[in-house]
Amino acid sequence: MNSKFKGKHFLSCEDWNKEELDIVFDTSFDLKNKFKTGVPTVHLHYKTLFMIFFEQSTRTRNSMEAGMTQLGGHAHDLTEDKMQLSHGEIAKDTAIILSRMGHGIASRNCFYGVGNEYLNEMARHSSKPVMSLQDDIYHPFQGLADLMTIFEKFSNDPKGLKVTVSWAYADTHSKPLSVPQTQLLLFPRYGIDLTVAHPKEFPLSKNIIDKAQKNAEEGGGSIKFTDNMDEGFEGAHIVIPKNWGGFGRYGVQEYLDNEAECKKEMAENLAKYKSWICNDDRIKLADKNVKLMHALPADRGNEVTDEILDNEEISIVFDEAENRLHTAKAIMALTM
């Protein structure tokens, strides 16, 4: 493993330059090939990862825990109720103690206006690498798996590839902005032409959009916005229908000061857009060889129909989900 990454935090893909990310992807593909052929990759023998989850998880929790086992180490699965966090212990104290006991800390905290700051506070005080398993702004491991899947299915040089990230209706909960914002920031760095479709009531954060535009200029990609889902799907090589809450309409302090009122407004706005679904009619607007991606779990029948999600000629969501394992192993092996 490349020793120059030892101890490096992974809180956002933005913190890693393109040359560094290229090494991550090369490592991911190497680890995937060895996993397929049964070659052991015991790079973290007897090392310990502490995983702190403030929310539920399937792909993230299991990709990290299985990945740590396959690398020869052990992952502690921690939740708020298992720790003194439930009694008010602060991020600084948690980070200092856990970093003295193990070799890495990873955490998921998606509370709006809280999560990213919590992870950064841990990173400031940890002597070992801190990894974001998703927060209210970024989901870097998902971004890596998404781009790895694009490399596999299309090209290692995806310049000119047309990808559409579209808001879609879902009624389960107000989902964070972190997945589409990570895709917005990351994809254009590799020359991808990205379209973001969303109703005006469900924007992404302005500061993220501004940074993504700069990334597109530097990486040779482009970014276009539309408030029409059909327009967004036209000619797309990849479509990613994904719900997110209307957090981008509010400043953090405004939301924290008026959380109940903001949530009520988001629910009212949500009800207006039940027609925003990825279905057969919309898929036909895209390229004839279009592929469907999704971070999962998909809200079946709302974000996307079963007909599309289960179509093996179109849907590559399970390949995408598997790549969560290999990219997670790459980051852990390189940084721990």
**83-142 pLDDT, tens digit each:** 777 678 899 999 999 999 999 999 999 999 999 999 999 999 999 999 999 999 999 999
pLDDT tens digits along 160-189: 999 999 999 998 878 999 999 999 999 999
The whole-number pLDDT of residue 227 equals: 98
Q: How many structural domains comprise the chain?
A: 2
Statement to judge: residues 198 and 248 lie in one domain? yes
Statement to judge: residues 225 and 94 lie in one domain? no
pLDDT tens digits along 231-274: 999 999 999 999 999 999 999 999 999 999 999 999 999 999 99
Statement to judge: residues 268 and 217 lie in one domain? yes
- Domain span at residue 56 reads 3-138+323-335
pLDDT tens digits along 32-50: 999 999 999 999 999 999 9
Statement to judge: residues 114 and 92 lie in one domain? yes
The whole-number pLDDT of residue 49 equals: 98
Statement to judge: residues 184 and 53 lie in one domain? no
Helical segments of 112-167, H only: 115-125, 140-153
Contact criterion met (CB below 8 Å) for 132 and 204: no
The whole-number pLDDT of residue 331 equals: 98
The whole-number pLDDT of residue 2 equals: 79
The whole-number pLDDT of residue 86 equals: 67
Q: If you ran DSSP here, which 8-state letter would residue 110 be given? A: -
Statement to judge: residues 195 and 329 lie in one domain? no
Q: Give the domain CATH number at 327.
A: 3.40.50.1370
Statement to judge: residues 147 and 112 lie in one domain? no
Statement to judge: residues 175 and 298 lie in one domain? yes
Higher pLDDT, 264 or 79: 264
Statement to judge: residues 160 and 251 lie in one domain? yes
The distance of Cα 94 from the centroid of its chain, to the nearest Å, equals 24
pLDDT tens digits along 277-323: 999 999 999 999 999 999 999 999 999 999 999 999 999 999 999 99
3-class secondary structure per residue, 244-262: CCHHHHCCHHHHHHCHHHH
Residue 182: other Cβ atoms inside 10 A: 27
Write down the mean pLDDT value for the chain. 96
CB half-sphere exposure, 171, CA atoms < 13 A: 8
User: pTM score, two decimals?
Assistant: 0.96
Statement to judge: residues 153 and 111 lie in one domain? no
Statement to judge: residues 206 and 312 lie in one domain? yes
Statement to judge: residues 152 and 296 lie in one domain? yes
